[in-house]
Amino acid sequence: MKQSAIFLDRDGTIIYDFGYLKSPNEVKFFPGTFSSLQKLQNSFKLFIITNQSGISKGITTPDEVMQVNDYIVNELKSQGIVVSDVFCCPHSNEDNCICKKPNPYFILQAAKLYNLNLENSYIIGDHPSDVECGQNAGINSIYLLTGHGEKHKDELKNEFRICENIVEASECILNN
Ligand SMILES: [Mg+2]
Ligand SMILES: [Zn+2]
């Protein structure tokens, strides 16, 4: 049977958004990230999709971003949480790439690689580009008010489900 997935944004969704992170020392998980993902992974495969335009802008190096991503995956693993894959776009808008959210590229790639059932899958993120990415891929989208969420709420072009944080989003998904 095809499995469903949760596509998680990184900054502002599972960890605090302190800008372009260069080191694992700067990673701080939201309270409730671990317990939420522990519950979600009973029914969903977990993925992280992150835009890291700091690389294209020369603010961060690919290696720094990779170290932060690896640290996050390992911290989650130490809590019994398995992230199946991390997809990272290193580009900025000027690069006109195919992979930066709201492009659905990574979701569609994951669906192929992991034989996913997108119909019952979700993206969770704190930026309009996250929920638009979900919409472009034809999956369910939840907009969070953590991170940049509160600030960009009025820019949402469509009606999306809005949740306070990752905890409320996971409850919303599991009670659905
Ligand atoms: Mg974010
Ligand atoms: Zn890209």
Q: What is the pLDDT of residues 5-19, one digit of tens each?
A: 999 999 999 999 999
CA of 42 to the centre of ligand 2 (A): 30
Question: In which residue are the tokens 């009973």 written?
Answer: 42
Residue 17 a catalytic site member: no
User: Residue ranges of the alpha helices (H) in 56-127?
Assistant: 62-78, 105-114
- Ligand closest to CA 9: 1
* Packing angle of the helix pair 166-174, 33-40 (nearest 10 deg): 20
Q: How confident is the model at residue 1 (pLDDT cuts 50, 70, 90)?
A: confident
Q: Is the peptide bond before 31 cis (omega within 30 degrees of 0)?
A: no
Q: Given this model, what pLDDT does residue 152 score? A: 96
What is the Å distance from ligand 2's center to 107 Cα?
A: 13
- For the chain, the distance separating the N- and C-terminal CA atoms, rounded to the nearest angstrom, is 20
* Residue 95 annotated as catalytic: no
Q: How many Cβ atoms are within 10 Å of 131's Cβ, its own excluded? A: 28
Residues 142, 121, 83, 146, Cα dihedral to 10°: 0
What fold characterizes domain 5-95+106-113+132-174?
Answer: Rossmann fold (3.40.50)
For the chain, the domains span 5-95+106-113+132-174
pLDDT at 113 over 90: yes
CA of residue 1 to ligand 1 center, whole Å: 31
Rounded distance between C-alpha atoms, residue 22 and residue 17, angstroms: 12
Say if CB 41 and CB 82 are below 8 A apart: yes
**141 C-alpha to ligand 1 centroid (Å):** 14
Nearest to 142 by CA among 2, 7, 16: 7
Residue 42 Cα to ligand 1 middle (Å): 24
pLDDT in tens, 34-80: 999 999 999 999 999 999 999 999 999 999 999 999 999 999 999 99
26 C-beta neighbours (distance < 10 Å), count: 14
Q: Which ligand is nearest to the CA of 90?
A: 2
Q: Phi and psi for 67 in degrees, rounded to 5? A: -65, -40
